[in-house]
Amino acid sequence: MLLSGMSRRLAALSGLIVGAVTAIPMTGVRAEGIDTKTTHLMAIGICPPWKSLDTQACRRGVDAIQAALAKRLDIDDKNVTTLVNAAATTEGLKVAFAGLSGLGANDRLIIYANMHAGTLDPTAEAGPDNDVFVLWTNEKPAAVRFAVAEGDWIMASDFAGWVHALPAGEVIFILDACESGAVTPLFIEAHPQNNANRAEAVIVSAAASQFANFAADRSIALYSQQLAQSIADGRGTFQQAADFAASRTHTAAIAICDPLKSALEKAGMDPLSCAQQPATHDPDAVLTRIVLHD
């Protein structure tokens, strides 16, 4: 999912980029969870109606991730906050974050977001200071800068500030979006509000120079589907599930992108921008300590 620059070059390819998702055969006895923190989940999905995509694709991603995490990490329904499409405006997010202001050191917060993202300045590379999160609007804004200036969309750094302001003891941020790797530093050490004493981890669906693919029927984001399935069917730790999902996503993306190499080159794009590679950044080893269980 992407914004300006890259998205314009891909306009002619919008109906071509699809992915094949296969079952993940992970069987056996699953280890019991050993972490005593109370886990909370905020799940965000934003597929605006002016994009050439089923608006319910993000709902499916939210539902799949929520179901998998709730089962494997024993997340109580009362500790789940969902913001899908029209609910995921700037004001909607502010209210949701305010509702989590009572979290404390014994709480773990997982934030999953499936949305469009891209550069504020399309002439520069995506990075911590040049990345915009596209929130819900009924109509496409006239320009990215106008949408940010009017508060309809937000800078990734502002969203990260809201996350850092929460008093949770642990935070895991999962972002399924184009160029998502560009914002990783914002959610760990690079943000001025970062609390060095809080354990944090970031999972992104693509590198800073890559866009995110959809499943074969375009009903759900490829990585969201793979991650949900690897969590639901996997055993061991959260890190192992994320690693398996990353491997399966990259393999599927290569199969998707190889036939499109010529078309991508003609559009002025590096074919490697399609070969989606999810990544995990976990300096505090949070994900390796979280054990999935039945």
Binned at pLDDT 50, 70 and 90, residue 238 comes out as very high
What is the model's pLDDT at position 268? 73
What is the model's pLDDT at position 95? 97
Cα 142 from Cα 123, distance rounded (Å)? 18
Binned at pLDDT 50, 70 and 90, residue 52 comes out as confident
Average pLDDT over residues 228-247: 96
What is the model's pLDDT at position 35? 60
What is the model's pLDDT at position 235? 85
The answer on pLDDT for 289 being more than 80 is yes
Binned at pLDDT 50, 70 and 90, residue 135 comes out as very high
What is the model's pLDDT at position 291? 95
Binned at pLDDT 50, 70 and 90, residue 167 comes out as very high
Instruction: State the average pLDDT for the chain.
Output: 86
Binned at pLDDT 50, 70 and 90, residue 204 comes out as very high
Average pLDDT over residues 165-173: 96
Percent of the chain with pLDDT over 90: 67
Average pLDDT over residues 265-283: 82
Average pLDDT over residues 186-208: 87
Average pLDDT over residues 31-51: 82
Binned at pLDDT 50, 70 and 90, residue 30 comes out as very low
What is the model's pLDDT at position 258? 77
The answer on pLDDT for 226 being more than 60 is yes
| Contacts of 264 by beta carbon, 8 Å cutoff, 6+ apart | 13, 257, 270, 271, 273, 274
